[in-house]
Amino acid sequence: MSDPLLEVRNLHVHFDTYDGVAEVINGVNFTLNQGETAALVGETGCGKSVTMKAVMGLLPSARIPEGEILYKGENVLELSDAKLHARRGREMSMIMQDPMTSLNPVLTVGEQMIDVLKWQGKPRLSVTNWVRDRLGGSTSAEHRERAIEMLADVEISAPKRVFNSYPVELSGGMRQRILIAIALLSEPDLLIADEPGTALDVTTEAKVLDLLEELVEERDTSVLYITHDLGVAREVSDYINVMYAGEIVEQTSTAELFADPQHPYTRGMLESIPSLSTGIGDGIEGHLPDYTDPPGACRFVDRCPYAEAACHEVYPYPRETEPDHTVACHLFDGSPVAEHHHELAEERVNIGPPSWTDASETDSESDAVADGGSAQ
Ligand SMILES: Nc1ncnc2c1ncn2[C@@H]1O[C@H](COP(=O)(O)OP(=O)(O)OP(=O)(O)O)[C@@H](O)[C@H]1O
Ligand code: SF4
Ligand SMILES: [Mg+2]
């Protein structure tokens, strides 16, 4: 197995709000190995962007009371601003969720791309140098050529014209491609793509995802995809982390997750795949909890059809139910908290197969879960 590139360990992120402390991220753990493509999946508001902004050091208003974010073994939470800035430019890039607000409306696409090329890897942006540079108009021909080439790589058909355009003059699909081009300009080792297709129509989204996959394969970049859509995660990633209310509730390879989904939330999300057009959560009633007053134990308890009284009281720590398959639910924790849970864990039939599996898959699933239920 390749080396870990990014390891997030027991990450907690809090925000001070008028209603109290919002404990948004609550003990998140995940690893991205070198050359791997992993997804972070969960419904809107579950904490995906907050997690990734923490990785990038882009959460000035948050408190991180506990946790480590190890990038190539070094804790980014302990890096100075200057070092973090240098690392962000050269080694880590993020495609932000909203193409309009992520691009500067008063600079042309070309100016923004050239800024990336000029300043990547520099320890600190000096305003004086930036102004001097801009007034001097010292845009090198090499940078210009590289930026235009990158626009062509992301399949923008008139790259020279787009290079001189302002973001507002371009379509949503073009702006998204430009963000991808900007993120890839510095040839990062780690690319975080936050819902790179959500602002687009379905056809353009599929094209953008294909393109991104091709580009990262060519460059051997490790990618973390953030999406609310398990269908997209299945298309693009080798490994899936399912997030609910600021916690990872299930994590395993993409193939294993679809062959043997275990956490009730994952299963609810899978049920909602046929109705993608209306968004995730159709298979799961209710809402995310209030982060200023979350349930004391399992955060999914108010929406879970298998909840027992004990689920309100005993925290479901993540456990490996099979090699490289981790689930945070008392149905699968090896020592079920209630007699009823014990029965459910042993007889998957009580949980019921997801509607998209056929009968033969159901049989093998029951066996797998019965085994998993006894794992420690
Ligand atoms: N600066 C902040 N101050 C207070 N609360 C915040 C702040 N930033 C995010 N949050 C809260 O954290 C929670 C998670 O937000 P986040 O943006 O990570 O969700 P998400 O999973 O990325 O959702 P989406 O799919 O809609 O992008 C939300 O309830 C949000 O309101
Ligand atoms: S721990 Fe209990 S409430 Fe939480 S997901 Fe599992 S069964 Fe449902
Ligand atoms: Mg988000």
CA of 265 to the centre of ligand 2 (A): 9
Predicted confidence (pLDDT) at residue 365 exceeds the cutoff of 50: no
Q: Considering only residues 345 and 242, tell me which one the structure prediction assigns the higher pLDDT.
A: 242
Pairing state between β 325-327 and 247-253? antiparallel
Pocket test for ligand 1, best of 13, 16, 26, 48 (most atoms within 8 A of CB): 48
Rounded CA-CA distance 150/159 in Å is: 9
Longest Cα–Cα distance of the chain, Å, equals 75
Mean pLDDT for the chain overall: 81
* pLDDT digits 0-9 by tens, 147-193: 999 898 888 889 999 999 999 999 888 888 899 888 888 788 999 99
What is the pLDDT averaged over residues 74-84?
88
- Closest among 99, 48, 54 to 280, alpha carbons compared: 48
Sign of CA dihedral 275, 277, 278, 281: positive
Residues 190, 271 within the same domain: no
For residue 289, being part of any structural domain is answered with yes
Q: What are phi and psi of 267, to 5 degrees?
A: -65, -35
- 216 and 339 share a domain? no
Distance 145 CA to ligand 1 centre (A): 38
Domain assignment present for 11: yes
pLDDT at residue number 276: 42
Residue 112 falls inside a structural domain: yes
Q: Of 43, 54, 57, which Cα lies nearest the Cα of 198?
A: 43
Instruction: Give the number of domains in the chain.
Output: 2
For residue 109, tell me if it sits in a domain: yes
In this predicted structure, which of 40-44, 291-295, 305-309 has the lowest mean pLDDT? 305-309
Bigger pLDDT: 109 or 200? 109
Do residues 221 and 286 both lie within one domain?
A: no
Higher-scoring residue by pLDDT: 140, 238: 238
pLDDT score recorded for residue 356: 43
Mean per-residue pLDDT for 110-135?
67
Q: Are 58 and 142 in contact (CB under 8 A)?
A: no
Give the residue numbers spanning the domain of 319. Answer: 261-372
- Which two tokens mark 159? 């790259």
CATH of the domain at 123: 3.40.50.300
